[in-house]
């Protein structure tokens, strides 16, 4: 069996070294020494001034909307994981979907401007598969209309645009460190901002809004993460170059083996590196996708229709609208298995099956 993804695990002894230290200290959570160390090491690695380690990528998004005091309408993408949209609804705002760019699959900045009303407070966009949005165009629109920008950068760990971390763009960026993501702390998330006032506020929100003994300064939540999760984050961070290199090599094998497939890949941002978080392909037709997927399923090779269906036309708690590019792409896109322990032989097998079905 080949799954679409499989978590990376560090050598057990290396994780256990951290666990032994936790036992000695008996400090299990609440911004302990390992959580602080992880924040420090991630800041160094990502060359960032500020960053908070939080419960998960979803809570990070919710904290971002709360900290920026967003109200009314938030312009967002229908082509993302459900947490991007559900966060907006959870925070009592209204998502306004605009269509994506057919090449990059990120939100189309040209369509953002048409969707702005006097109720719009922000733009919440996803760097889809780690591929950066047109951050410059979004920035210009946001400044012109006095809107906040949040980037759901859940997929974008290790991506740089114009030589700096993708997490530096927007008012706030969030990342997920969930076990299925390329770099993980089992469950976990990051929240990043360049603004030190905002960072202070986010740190208070993370800890119930408690500002000192017997005092509260904010409406907060429990957004903390534990020492055990930080330990996994620290153990995994030592392998991050190996993870990137292996994924790059796997990506290259796929591209070589699948060069005759009637499918294309999303167009990557010209000034950004790829982090090889996913291997998405856009088939010529949904029919070809379904034929190939069902044969792969039979052979216990599990791919994922990611993202399908469009969030704009499938959520039971929202009015349904159909945005043509998202509807079309979401029906034709498939993510192939990609993870650290995947082998070249497995990719050859997957490619052989796919080409056989196509050429039938």
Ligand X SMILES: *Cc1c(COP(=O)(O)O)cnc(C)c1O
Cβ-count burial of 304 within 10 angstroms (0-12 exposed, 13-18 middle, 19+ buried)? middle
Closest to ligand X by CB, 189 or 220? 189
| Position closest to ligand X via CB | 57
Closest to ligand X by CB, 185 or 193? 185
Q: Are 215 and 171 in contact, with CB atoms under 8 Å apart?
A: no
Closest to ligand X by CB, 58 or 303? 58
Residue 149 dihedral angles phi and psi, to the nearest 5°: -125, 125
Contact positions vs ligand X (CB under 6 A): 56-58, 80-81, 83-84, 126, 152, 154-155, 176, 178, 189
Closest to ligand X by CB, 55 or 120? 55
Shortest Å, Cβ 87 to ligand X? 8
Closest to ligand X by CB, 151 or 254? 151
Spatial distance between the Cα atoms of 36 and 30, rounded to a whole number of angstroms: 10
Residue 279 dihedral angles phi and psi, to the nearest 5°: -125, 80
Shortest Å, Cβ 95 to ligand X? 14
Residue 223 dihedral angles phi and psi, to the nearest 5°: -110, 15
Shortest Å, Cβ 7 to ligand X? 13
Identify whether 345 is preceded by a cis peptide bond (ω within 30 of 0): no
Shortest Å, Cβ 189 to ligand X? 5
Spatial distance between the Cα atoms of 147 and 171, rounded to a whole number of angstroms: 10
Spatial distance between the Cα atoms of 321 and 208, rounded to a whole number of angstroms: 37
Residue 172 dihedral angles phi and psi, to the nearest 5°: -140, 140
Shortest Å, Cβ 174 to ligand X? 7
- Give the tokens for residue 281: 């392909």
Shortest Å, Cβ 218 to ligand X? 22
Closest to ligand X by CB, 221 or 290? 221
Spatial distance between the Cα atoms of 149 and 141, rounded to a whole number of angstroms: 10
Q: At CA 348, angle to CA 346 and CA 352, rounded to 5?
A: 120
Closest to ligand X by CB, 48 or 64? 64
Those residues whose C-beta lies under 8 Å from the C-beta of residue 173, and which sit 6 or more positions away, are 150, 151, 153, 156, 166, 167, 191, 192, 193
Shortest Å, Cβ 68 to ligand X? 17
Q: At CA 305, angle to CA 301 and CA 306, rounded to 5?
A: 120
Those residues whose C-beta lies under 8 Å from the C-beta of residue 27, and which sit 6 or more positions away, are 33, 227
Closest to ligand X by CB, 81 or 157? 81
Closest to ligand X by CB, 48 or 125? 125
Shortest Å, Cβ 80 to ligand X? 5
Give the N- to C-terminal CA distance of the chain in Å, as an integer.
24
């Amino acid at each position: 069996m080949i799954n679409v993804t499989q978590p990376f695990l560090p050598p057990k002894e290396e994780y256990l070294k951290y666990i032994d230290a936790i036992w000695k200290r008996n400090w299990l959570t609440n911004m302990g020494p390992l959580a602080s160390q992880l924040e420090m090491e991630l800041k160094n690695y990502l060359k960032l001034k500020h960053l908070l380690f939080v419960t998960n990528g979803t809570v990070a998004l919710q904290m971002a909307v709360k900290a920026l005091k967003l109200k009314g309408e938030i312009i967002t993408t229908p082509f993302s994981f459900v947490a991007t949209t559900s966060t907006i609804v959870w925070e009592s705002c209204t998502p306004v979907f605009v269509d994506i760019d057919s090449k990059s699959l990120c939100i189309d900045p040209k369509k953002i401007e048409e969707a702005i009303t006097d109720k719009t407070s922000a733009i919440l966009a996803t760097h889809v598969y780690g591929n950066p949005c047109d951050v410059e165009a979004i920035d210009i629109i946001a400044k012109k209309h006095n809107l906040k920008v949040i980037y759901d950068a859940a997929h974008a760990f290790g991506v740089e645009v114009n030589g700096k971390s993708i997490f530096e763009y927007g008012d706030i960026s969030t990342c997920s460190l969930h076990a299925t993501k390329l770099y993980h702390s089992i469950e976990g998330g990051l929240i990043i901002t360049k603004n030190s006032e905002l960072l202070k506020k986010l740190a208070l929100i993370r800890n119930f809004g408690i500002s000192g003994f017997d005092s509260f300064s904010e409406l907060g939540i429990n957004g903390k993460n534990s020492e055990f999760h930080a330990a996994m984050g620290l153990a995994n961070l030592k392998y991050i170059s190996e993870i990137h290199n292996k994924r790059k090599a796997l990506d290259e094998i796929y591209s070589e083996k699948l060069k005759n497939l009637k499918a294309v890949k999303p167009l990557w941002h010209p000034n950004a590196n790829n982090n090889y978080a996913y291997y998405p392909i856009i088939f010529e037709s949904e029919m070809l996708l379904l034929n190939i997927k069902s044969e792969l399923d039979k052979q216990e090779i599990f791919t994922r229709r990611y993202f399908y269906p469009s969030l704009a036309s499938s959520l039971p708690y929202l009015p349904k609208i159909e945005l043509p590019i998202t509807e079309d792409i979401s029906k034709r896109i498939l993510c192939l298995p990609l993870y650290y322990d995947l082998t070249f032989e497995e990719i050859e097998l997957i490619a052989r099956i796919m080409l056989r079905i196509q050429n039938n």
